């Protein structure tokens, strides 16, 4: 997933240009590489920073705690399938099953299904061929899945498993994961405690690239279906598993093609809901908070290019194109977008839930959060609190449009004036904003500089200024012709969100909650990066980015050295998906 703060690689040009899906009415164009902070910023910022940043030194469990503000769904436990759920629950608690789950994930990790930014077309680039080995492994590891479900391969390596239900009138559910992993830097292999593709199990963690992102999700899903089939379960509501193979490079070969196939087969808004990788749960002090992502920020790479006359560097102008570009970059960084806490943000909803249910929250902040429902002054007070302190940067990234100058080029020789210099600015667009607002911001900020240096100025093809005797040009363009608007926000008052919330609470209560005694609270979360869900917008309005994992289940995060997944956490993923499938099968509301 791009779900990751530990990912430090920068977006680069995808040389295999693809067009956006024609049926994606709300999707303008789609962004380039997902080698950035996807799920991790959504995962860590939503789960780690929210509970910690808003906690104060004063513990208050008094009457100001208002649980009516963040009403929780009752834990949703399968009823007609209660005997089956109980039987599988006992199985999942056994050491034998945990060992089996470990072997499933370990075997998957041992196959290095790496995807690279410069991957060519399927059938031409031989680096894709490792996915055939991965498919062979899945076929051997999950025999009942492959004997009972209809498997369709899309663009050779995309996997669609159709588990046909007995009632065709019920909307199917769509559960997604991805097969690929980010590459391991060869120079870092010696720094791993256990080799990155060993799949080593030390009694607690399964080690290796992809153990957390996202083979634990994919193997968790297949392990769930295999276990249900072994118990003789046949669904009433169809279940579709969709596994892309290039999520880490934006999903154009995988999820994009899979979404086209599903759209042609099922049509618009044809699924009850979709769950893909995303944030999980975290907490202490008696309360654990799960924050399923209901939104994702948008994405735009803006290339800023300055062109001026060349010549010999022994007779230089006051500013070369590189010098002008440097001043432009400095100006842009000195004038960032202003983040703002709004009542429509999922982060605000999460804060309300903490005010209602977190016993470690300071009395003052709890009071301000409650008052902010109607008081603008109190809302600003809450904003000030979360925008100060050690984690202010993370909150500002969640709540505002961000900009990062990630690429730069210019000049060819020390004694030749550079005729052209350019930089690429990576933007993550706030969910309340848009691509057009971002373009307007760039236009406003750069027009004075264009006038100062007497440059002809154009932005995304629109001519802004054309001086008679210009000293050159300043052009702002879409760097890779792939721009993504912020995702549609999933409604939280609908049956799908309520089913997911009740399922999360039930799976936790019947799993880790038995030993911790903590109360699970579910609140809306959001993503700063992008997942494969960006290709599925037209299939359902009920899209969730959630992985049922504790923030402590990962040894060192994802997209980094020493990626490792707790075996106990993998079992909980399987418990969650089992509860989810059974609950969805019984529901007459989704």
Widest pairwise Cα distance in the chain: 86
Coil, strand or helix at 490: coil
Which of 228, 229, 108, 78 shows the shortest CA–CA distance to 180?
108
- Find out whether 544 and 312 touch, Cβ atoms under 8 Å: no
The 3 state secondary structure assigned to 351-411 is HHHHHHHCCCECHHHHHHHHHCCCCHHHHHHHHHHHCCCCCHHHHHHHHCCEEEEEEEEEC
247 carries an active-site annotation: yes
Spatial separation of the C-alpha atoms in residues 28 and 20, rounded to whole Å? 7
What is the chain's percent helix, strand, coil content, to nearest 5? 40, 20, 45
Which residues are part of a known binding site for Zn(2+)?
178, 213, 248, 276, 559
The 3 state secondary structure assigned to 196-260 is CCCCCECCCEEECCCCCCCHHHHHHHHHHHHHHHHCCCCCCCCEEEEEECCHHHCCCCCHHHHHH
230 carries an active-site annotation: no
For tokens 């990962």, name the residue: 554
| Catalytic entry in 2, 14, 117, 180 | 180
Spatial separation of the C-alpha atoms in residues 405 and 532, rounded to whole Å? 25
The 3 state secondary structure assigned to 128-195 is HHHHHHHHHHHHHHCHHHHHHCEEEEECCCEEEEEECCCCCCCCCEEEEEECCECCCCHHHHHHCCCC
Coil, strand or helix at 333: helix
Tokens of residue 202, six digits: 């030390």
Angle at 484 between CA 479 and CA 488, to 5 degrees: 170
Neighbours of 228 (CB within 10 A): 25
Q: Which residues of 123-146 are buried (b: 16+ CB within 10 A; e: fewer)?
A: eeeeebebbeebbeebeebbeebb
For tokens 């391969």, name the residue: 153
| Catalytic entry in 2, 117, 246, 247 | 247
Q: What are phi and psi of 336, to 5 degrees?
A: -70, 170
Strands 239-244 and 420-429: unpaired
Coil, strand or helix at 429: strand
**What CA dihedral angle connects 218, 222, 228 and 234, to 10 degrees?**
100
Coil, strand or helix at 439: helix
Coil, strand or helix at 49: helix
Spatial separation of the C-alpha atoms in residues 518 and 552, rounded to whole Å? 15
Spatial separation of the C-alpha atoms in residues 590 and 580, rounded to whole Å? 13
Active-site annotation, residues: 180, 247
């Amino acid at each position: 997933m791009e779900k990751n703060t530990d990912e430090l690689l920068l977006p680069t040009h995808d040389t295999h240009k693809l067009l956006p899906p024609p049926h994606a009415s709300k999707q303008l164009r789609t962004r380039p590489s997902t080698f950035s902070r996807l799920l991790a910023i959504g995962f860590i910022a939503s789960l780690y920073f929210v509970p910690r940043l808003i906690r104060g030194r004063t513990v208050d469990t008094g009457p100001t705690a208002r649980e009516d503000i963040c009403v929780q769904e009752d834990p949703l436990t399968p009823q007609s399938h209660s005997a089956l759920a109980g039987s599988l629950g006992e199985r999942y608690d056994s050491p034998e099953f945990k060992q089996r789950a470990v072997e499933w994930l370990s075997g998957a990790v041992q196959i290095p299904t790496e995807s690279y930014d410069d991957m060519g077309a399927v059938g031409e680039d031989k680096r894709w061929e490792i996915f055939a080995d991965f498919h062979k492994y899945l076929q051997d590891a999950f025999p009942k899945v492959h004997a009972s479900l209809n498997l369709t391969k899309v663009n050779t390596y995309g996997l669609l498993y159709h588990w046909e239900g007995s009632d065709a009138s019920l909307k199917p559910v769509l559960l997604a994961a991805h097969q690929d992993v980010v590459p391991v830097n060869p120079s870092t292999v010696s720094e791993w405690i256990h080799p990155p593709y060993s799949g080593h199990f030390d009694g607690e963690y399964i080690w290796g690239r992809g153990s957390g992102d996202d083979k634990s999700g994919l193997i968790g899903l297949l392990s769930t279906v295999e276990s249900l089939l072994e118990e003789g379960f046949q669904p009433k509501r169809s279940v579709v598993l969709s596994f892309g193979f290039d999520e880490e490079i934006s999903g154009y070969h995988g999820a994009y093609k899979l979404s086209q196939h599903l759209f042609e087969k099922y049509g618009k808004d044809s699924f009850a809901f979709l769950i893909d990788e995303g944030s999980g749960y975290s907490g202490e002090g008696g309360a654990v908070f799960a924050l399923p992502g209901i939104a994702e920020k948008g994405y735009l790479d803006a290339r800023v290019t300055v062109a001026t006359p060349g010549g010999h560097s022994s007779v230089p102008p006051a500013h070369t194109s590189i010098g002008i570009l440097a001043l432009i970059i400095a100006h842009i960084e000195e004038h960032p977008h202003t983040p703002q806490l709004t009542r429509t943000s999922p982060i605000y909803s999460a804060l309300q839930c903490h005010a209602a249910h977190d016993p470690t929250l300071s009395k003052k902040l709890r009071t301000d959060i409650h008052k902010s429902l109607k008081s603008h002054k109190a809302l600003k007070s809450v904003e000030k609190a979360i925008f100060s302190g050690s984690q202010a940067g993370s909150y500002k990234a969640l709540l505002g449009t961000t900009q990062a100058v990630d690429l730069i080029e210019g000049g060819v020789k020390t004694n030749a004036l550079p005729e052209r210099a350019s930089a690429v600015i990576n933007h993550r667009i706030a969910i309340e904003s848009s691509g057009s607002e971002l373009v307007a911001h760039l236009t406003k900020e750069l027009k004075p500089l264009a006038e100062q240096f007497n440059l002809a100025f154009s932005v995304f093809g629109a001519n802004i200024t054309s001086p008679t005797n210009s000293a050159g040009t300043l052009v702002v363009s879409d760097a890779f012709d792939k721009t993504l608007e912020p995702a549609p926000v999933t409604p939280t008052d609908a049956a799908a969100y309520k089913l997911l919330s009740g399922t999360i609470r039930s799976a936790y209560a019947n799993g880790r909650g038995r030993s911790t005694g903590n109360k699970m609270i579910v609140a809306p979360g959001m993503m700063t990066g992008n997942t494969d869900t960006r290709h599925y917008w037209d299939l359902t309005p009920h899209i969730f980015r959630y992985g049922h994992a504790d923030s402590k289940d990962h040894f060192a995060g994802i997209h980094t050295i020493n990626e490792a997944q707790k075996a106990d956490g993998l079992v909980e993923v399987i418990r969650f998906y089992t509860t989810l499938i059974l609950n969805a099968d019984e529901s007459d509301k989704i």
